[in-house]
Structure 1
Amino acid sequence: MDNSTIVFFVPVIAFVLDYFLGDPKGLPHPVRFLGKALEIYENWVKSTSLSPKIMGAVGVIGFAIVIWGVLKLLVSIPYLGILIALYLAYSGLALGCLLKDCRKVAGLLDSGKFEEAREGLAHLVSRDVSTLDDSEMRKVLAETASENLNDAFVAPFFFLVVTGPAGMWVYKAVSTMDSMWGYKNEEYKDFGYFAAKADDVLAFIPARITAMMMMAAGRIMKLNWRDAWDNLLKDASKTESPNAGWPMSCAAWLLGASMGGRAVYFGEEKEKPVLGPEGEVWSDLRIKRLLGLLGFTGVLCAILLYIYFSLVWIA
């Protein structure tokens, strides 16, 4: 299968399947196999006396090379390769799943089913949500929804149209390593160092594309795009991550509600920088508008990235 087939057909079909169906159900998801392989590698490194920092870097580079080589080989198989490429692309996108999960939690909050909403939210975030009230849960939901628009959809789709399914899954592998190993605690600060840095590098351009597309979508939807434009650069630079602040601060200013503040991770309290207008809370209406914004941004981003890189390939 040549590159033109991947560029012109696979991304479009994968996007439509993901947006309307969400994650493929009843089929083996590549990220499960990836997670298991990373767990085996981590446990092996821990059982040796090798340098965690060096072996963390070896793991990132090694998995990237193997994934690239194996997937390039698989998608090159005549006829069958097209189906493999399509499944890899479809399973690597998560916009539909993100919106579905966030809408479910939002609906539970709107219905006053706070404990069920708390349980659903706990599956979406790594922080402790056990003591949050309904207003705080909405804020956390807004934070994770806006941040994950890039991680779950824009960045994977970007690499899909630029490099094909193989490059997309190299990005997904690095992102998964960062999720599993990229903690700044005693256990992972060395082992996960390279994974966290690699994820920062790979997500750098997509995060900024996400914010710009969100800004464009917000203007079309007549949200507070002037406030977002005036404050995006200032607020985006506040976060520890060089990328997370871009979609989060853009969403906060577009919807006119704040993000950040006190959070508890693994028993440790952390004061996160405040993004957006201080003191403004996330109401149910703002959450509904945010999820509408994220869905529209995803569609807009997919269309523009697809058209741009298709034209690049043609040229």
Structure 2
Amino acid sequence: MKKPKIVVIGGGTGIPVILNSLRRENVELTAIVTVADDGGSSGKLRSAIDIVPPGDLRNVLIAMSDMPRFYEKIFQYRFNEADGPLSGHPLGNLIIAGVSEMRGSTYNAIQMLTQFFHTDGKIYPASEKALTLHAVFKDGFDIEGESHIAEHKGLIDHVYVEETATGKVPVASRNVVQSIFDADTIVLGPGSLFTSILPSLVIPEIGEALRKTQAKVIYVCNIMTQRGETEHFSDSDHVRVLHEHLKMKFIDTVLINGEPVPKEYMNSNKFDEYLVQVTHDFKGLKKEGVRIITNNFLELRNGGAFHNGKAVCEEILRINEYRNK
């Protein structure tokens, strides 16, 4: 039997959990990673040497690699605040930046590093150029930069991206569009709706490919609402926003966590961006034309609520198997 081709699109800390579980299965796995991060170490590096921000790519590289735990700790080591210009930089970001300079682009660097770290699958930045994310709010304000969006009070109407250096409409990286057309299943998220998932989808070529692909599209809905992005959002609101941005009801299935998050468990100091559990609106979801799968996808860890990668992975494989019967 041929291996099912699964493409995961997103960024942040959400998709590495899913990728780490999927890579252990008998699938052809591809990750398409957002490149609009302008904060922290990634923001400093993209400003200093004009590269695609490496942070999300670093986390995906580790998630899809079989590198020993010791190597992972080295790659993730973050210089402390007393280290001057190196302060706050993970060693892995500096390695990606150095190889990007050596190989001429971050795209080429990631292809080289996937071999170096024996990665199970392919990793592509959504674009080969660093992108600037814009959020247009309901009040008309256009806020530039992912790291500034949550600071503005109000509701986001829509987001768009442009090439940071030129202001031009971005194009997709090599092989990204073909991967979407070749896929059996495409997984969106989990991750921040406006700053981790949509920055890749609003690249025109990627959005068009998602509208035309024959693959089944699965959206892994967030467990918690997020400050400055999805306050007061239900699960149907998340899906509606995705459909509105691509001007089409392109999502086939939504995975929803049905397990309650204990309020007393959440560490509001450590995870201050997360507010309350996403509410369920099954009537609204049906209006969006999606198949709904509700299960216990919750993993409580370190004072936060996360997706259980194994449980989500099992559901994705079940959907893919059902599709191919």
* Fold equivalence (TM over 0.5): no
Q: Quick one: higher RCO (CA 8 Å, sep 6+), 1 or 2?
A: 1
TM-score of the two chains, using structure 2 as the length reference: 0.29
TM-score, scaled relative to structure 1:
0.29
Larger strand proportion, structure 1 or 2?
2
Larger Rg computed on CA atoms: 1
